[in-house]
Chains A and B, each alone.
Chain A
């Protein structure tokens, strides 16, 4: 069975600083990977996804993520955060051509300091 680990429960970053959120996955076959963002009281919004090809993927709101198969990681990055980026971020893994649901990590709560 697949699993996702987000080691950081909370991260505090100053506005304008760079950001990296960590995600490690466990899956025996080819995964497909996602990052979702959840603002308070809202549903989950897709930031970006990786299916195949270029291991650096670009998403919405200036986010990017890099797939590293050797490290089983899919870390999310942003060069300069804005106060509006404060939210909960979830990494998720799916099974290519297999079971249809996504397995989510526990999430990382991002706090932006002025």
Chain B
């Protein structure tokens, strides 16, 4: 299995531009999570999906952030408009829940820099 695939690995953009991050989960996994990692706040759960349906988006910081999962093999996290404080590493993770617990497999991350 290729694991969780994220693109782009690095993105540098200017304030006000739209940013789209992409994720392909592991085939057969029915949960997908988006996390954000910063030095100040560590790893924060932004949103997660189960069977392509958003379950909890309480971690999404503002309306500028949106996420979609149109099918079982693709998800996007969009920031519009972007701001310098959005600079972070964004991780996608997927899992298949077994025995009442989720074991997350993470992608390599997308490092976003907003100038």
Contacts and interface: CB of A to CB of B under 8 A. Distances in A.
B101 A94 contact: yes
Contacts of B108: 41-43
Q: How large is the interface on B (under 10, 10 to 19, 20 to 34, 35 or more residues)?
A: 20 to 34
Contacts of A106: 42
B112 to A, nearest CB: 14
Nearest to B97: A100
B55 A100 contact: yes
Contacts of B104: 44, 46, 102
Nearest to B39: A106
Interface in B58-115: 91, 93, 97, 99-109
Interface residues of A, number: 24
Contacts of B48: 100-101
Contacts of B102: 94, 100-102
A96 B33 contact: no
Contact of A99 (B56, B91, B93): B56
A49 B91 contact: no
Interface-centre pick from A43, A45, A51, A105 (highest chain B CB count, 10 A): A43
Contact of B101 (A41, A96, A104): A96
A8 B31 CA distance: 31
B12 interface: no
B45 interface: yes
24 contacts: A36-B106, A41-B108, A42-B109, A43-B4, A43-B106, A43-B109, A44-B104, A46-B103, A46-B104, A46-B105, A49-B103, A51-B101, A90-B43, A94-B101, A96-B100, A100-B48, A100-B56, A100-B97, A100-B102, A101-B33, A101-B45, A101-B48, A101-B56, A104-B42
Interface of A: 32, 34, 36, 41-46, 49, 51, 90, 94, 96-97, 99-107
Interface of B: 4, 31, 33, 42-43, 45, 48, 50, 55-56, 91, 93, 97, 99-109
